[in-house]
Amino acid sequence: MMSADTEPAAPGPLLRMRDIRKEFPGVRALDGVSLDVAPGSVHALMGENGAGKSTLMKVLSGVHPAGSYTGLVEVDGEPRAFADVAASERAGIAIIHQELALIPQLSISENVLLGHEVTRFGVIDWGATHARARELLLRVGLDENPAAPVSTLSIGAQQMVEIAKALAKDVRLLILDEPTSALNETESDRLLDLLLDLRAQGVACVLISHKLGEIMRVSDEVTILRDGRTVETLAVERDADGRPSVDEDRVIRGMVGRDLDQRYPDREGEIGPVRFQVRDWTVDHPAQTGRRMVQGVDLDLRAGEVVGLAGLMGAGRTEFAMSLFGRSYGRYVRGSLLRDGEELRVRDVTEAIAAGVAYVPEDRKSLGLVLDDDIRHNTTLAALGRVCTRGVIDPGLETVEAQAMSERMRVRSHGVNQTVRTLSGGNQQKVVLGKWMFTRPELLILDEPTRGIDVGAKYEIYLIVRRLAAEGACVLLISSELPEILGMCDRVYAMCEGRITGQVPRADADQETLMRLMTRTGDPT
């Protein structure tokens, strides 16, 4: 019998994973990982790309079925062996992958209740289906018509639909893999607030993210993985002002195994004269003639300089960059690109590459890489002439060149014959960089070059960018992360509604100044 002074026992963890080991051919992805997640908590899972975070969650969610790994998985203290995703969902576990699993042509209701349709006499009851979907949408704070096609929603709204879809399955443990990587700041804040609301409703969340600020804002515990092993789990407590007990540097040290004395490398070399000039660059929407997406942009880029282009989502940064790179976006209206005072022909991608221009896109998987091909072919794809003999690709020369570039980019792989799809996000990004470095660019445009990669890989990419600038190239860096812009750039242009609204030298740049310029509408004064 329990005495009056005896406190009731604290509830055990909702999830317990012990000594999880998972191997792929030639690779041990998980090497004895353990993880506990308490009911109604937000548990962050952090580590460098390739540390094993996504693999661990695929084990938990049944993507990697029982028998393909060793170790113990318990839910509510009961051992579980999930044969597939459906089995984990029946246990109240749902995973939302970085690439959303929605069907664009179907309605919101059809996506939310797919496999859980509301029927009457064996026929879908559309009135009840839409009503149930609306309940779930309101629960995630999304006020949309359930009958509308998912394709009409923004990426942020689609992310909320994914969460509503998980809630339809009576989820108790929600796994989110890089949920804010493609969201703007407002959408990210909204999603993080939703996680806190779900926590208050008793839903546990496992959050995988490389954005340390987000982790510190919402997590109750942080588990750090490194090289497929559990390094440590940190409890995050907050003072009266909401400040977390664990700082970002502490988490970074656990992730990379050392202190990072600085987040951004020092600049090397001197900034030279103006090499590239963009004048009155104007572009229309690809399908709506007369709708200006880029309006009269003027830019100067100096040799050895990293120039930032800052703007909110929809400001026209990517549209400008893609249109400049061989008119890859929209309808060209007017404007010129000059190198050393002479106008260049950049009417298509081939001419842009010949003019010394390279563009690293923000979406590396769909625009930057051939995922099912190997590192060797991806590296040389944009400059095949350099690995040809008498007009025919020389496999030996291609291998030598790809190996040299892979070493220069510090790509972690089993060799240049490894398929790019099997690389971590950070190493995929290095392959994209290597592909365009192989063209020997004089102007390198980087569009969100560190999106979705960890702090260690980010620093390596920053070093590559700095080294390229030190060799005399011009670099235009587009980023939604203002600390990255401020830490890496020698000068910053701000953009709003397709126009350049001002430029700020590094010495005068701060987040407040840039935000004022990024929200300035109309013609700059």
**Please, are residues 209 and 53 in contact by the beta-carbon 8 Å criterion?**
no
With b meaning 16 or more CB within 10 Å and e meaning fewer, what string describes 42-76?
bbbbbbbbbbbbbbbbbbbbbbbbeeebeeebbbe
DSSP 10: P
Token digits for 70?
């060793």
pLDDT at 525: 45
Q: How far apart are CA 477 and CA 494, in angstroms?
A: 12
Q: Are strands 491-496 and 306-310 parallel, antiparallel or unpaired?
A: parallel
Q: How far apart are CA 311 and CA 55, in angstroms?
A: 34
With b meaning 16 or more CB within 10 Å and e meaning fewer, what string describes 469-495?
beeebbbbbbbbbbebbbbbbbbbbbb
Token digits for 14?
């909702």
Q: How far apart are CA 420 and CA 379, in angstroms?
A: 10
354 burial type by CB count under 10 A (0-12 exposed, 13-18 middle, 19+ buried) = middle
Q: Scan for tokens 């939302």, then name that residue.
A: 96
Supply φ then ψ for residue 315, to 5 degrees.
Answer: -75, -20
Strand (E) positions, 378-498? 388-389, 392-393, 443-447, 474-478, 491-496
Cα 312–Cα 315–Cα 317 angle in degrees, nearest 5: 100
In whole angstroms, what separates CA 276 from the centre of its chain?
30
Three-class DSSP category at 347 = coil
Q: Could you list the mean pLDDT of each consecutive 10-residue stretch along the chain, which spans 525 residues?
A: 52 90 84 94 86 89 93 94 92 83 89 85 88 88 88 82 85 87 75 88 89 86 90 87 80 72 77 95 90 94 95 87 94 95 94 95 86 94 92 93 91 90 85 92 92 77 90 93 90 94 92 87 52
Whether the model pTM is above 0.75: no
Element holding 195 (H helix, E strand):
helix 185-200
Type of residue numbered 180: T
**Please, are residues 357 and 383 in contact by the beta-carbon 8 Å criterion?**
no
**Please, are residues 274 and 300 in contact by the beta-carbon 8 Å criterion?**
yes
Neighbouring CB atoms inside 10 A of 281's CB total 22
**Please, are residues 346 and 355 in contact by the beta-carbon 8 Å criterion?**
yes
Cα 474–Cα 492–Cα 48 angle in degrees, nearest 5: 75
DSSP 375: H
Helical H segments across 241-301, by residue range: 248-256
pLDDT at 8: 53
pLDDT at 396: 93
Domains of the chain: 9-92+172-261 (3.40.50.300), 104-168 (no CATH), 264-356+441-450+472-525 (3.40.50.300), 363-437 (no CATH)
pLDDT at 260: 57
Neighbouring CB atoms inside 10 A of 386's CB total 14
Cα 374–Cα 364–Cα 51 angle in degrees, nearest 5: 75
